[in-house]
Amino acid sequence: LFQCLAACPTLPISTSMSSLSVPPPQCLLQPFTVPHRYLFGPGPSNVPPRISTAGAQPMLGHLHAETIEIMDHIKSGIQYAFQTQNRMTLAVSGPGHAAMECAIFNTVESGESVLIAVHGIWGERAAEMAERIGAKVNTIVTSAGSYYTNDEIEQALAKYKPVLFFLTHGESSTGVLHPIDGIGELCHKYDCLFLVDSVAALGGAPIYMDKQGIDILYTGSQKVLNAPPGTAPISFSERACHKIFNRKTKPVSYFLDLSWLANYWGCDGKPVRSYHHTGPITGLYSLRESLAILAETGLENSWKQHKDVAEYFHMGLEKMGLKLFVQDKKARLPTVTTIVAPPGYEWREITGYIMKNHNIEISGGLGPSLGMVLRVGLMGCNSTKAHVDMILQALADALKHCHKSKV
């Protein structure tokens, strides 16, 4: 219509007779240029050109044969990244929070006991989600920067007899990489499903879903995988599926109901996929490409890269006189480093100065670490020693120019 009107000078566009009470917003009538920034916070991470190009390919229908083929590629890529042969492997349409809700909403019914390990904000979030659906939520809580022994976990399993135990593998709010070995066996000993959040660690630290007895594992697309936010890989073991598909009640969420998602992703063995929702098609292009890069790189090479770069970063910080928040070196998350907030400085001034003068994003604490730490994320393509040198230079500059009060 507007093209026709523009082509006909004898038919001017009139606003005086318009029935609209809200005019076109002026901000949308001007172009907007997104600046380039170095995203060295806890996520999202920078998207490399190869993944951006993949996401810019032509739109397909959500059930076209090519889209289904892409979805099948994604399932294979997730199985590799998770080190699992689970048939029930897919990507939730949404961020990591959507995968967290998908895991909890499908496995837990109202009145059932769950056990949540809270050693940062993600345990707090999981506990709230379980509480909202009427579960009996039990928690074990440790101080920020710490983790649990297997003995402590077993004592809680024996005490609360939960149907589900939640643990964060890479706690991005505190910088802790939690040990996983042996916990799956303990959960199964007490007839409990083992749910692991590996949003901040997947691809950057070793995890073996099948070997470690993990029943449900999920991650996000925007961390080590370097894809845009909006897709969340997740996988369910046969034990988890048995509980889910023998529920007495339907899951509280239609959108996250695994019986629908299983069919949509071709995980249920049925010959035809039914319409459930319109998935983020271009996001799937990006996710497929990110998983292809991980497969080409190799998991073990990716783990080593993140470990080596993190150790290089930690040495540089210590040479500057800065302290690492996580004392146990083995428990330091290689993808997100937590630095003790420099005494006498306002952390917001430091992060603001670095953003303004170096075009680099780093973050303050979150949840239990708020006000205590600075957080620096080096994930996927961002995990390089050259980027470490940039960050160390920016930190040194900030500490030189930001106001320091007497401690």
Q: Which residues, other chains included, contact 146 with Cβ-Cβ below 8 Å and sequence gap of 6+?
A: 119, 176
H/E stretch holding 196: strand 193-197
Phi, psi for residue 331 in degrees, rounded to 5: -100, 10
* 132 carries a ligand binding annotation: no
Nearest to 89 by CA among 101, 74, 104: 74
Residue 321 has which token pair? 């006189």
- Burial code of 174-194, b = ≥16 C-beta within 10 A, e = fewer? bbbbbebeebbebbeebebbb
Cis peptide before 233 (omega within 30 of 0): no
Residue 60 has which token pair? 């397909």
For residues 260 and 106, the answer to whether their CB atoms sit within 8 Å is no
Neighbours of 359 (CB within 10 A): 13
CA distance 41 to 38: 9
Residue 52 has which token pair? 């951006």
**Positive or negative: CA dihedral 168, 169, 170, 176:** positive
DSSP state at residue 402? S
One DSSP character per residue, 198-246 reads -TTTBTTB---TTTTT-SEEE--SSSTT-PPSSEEEEEE-HHHHHHHTT
Annotated binding site: 375
Annotated binding site for substrate: 375
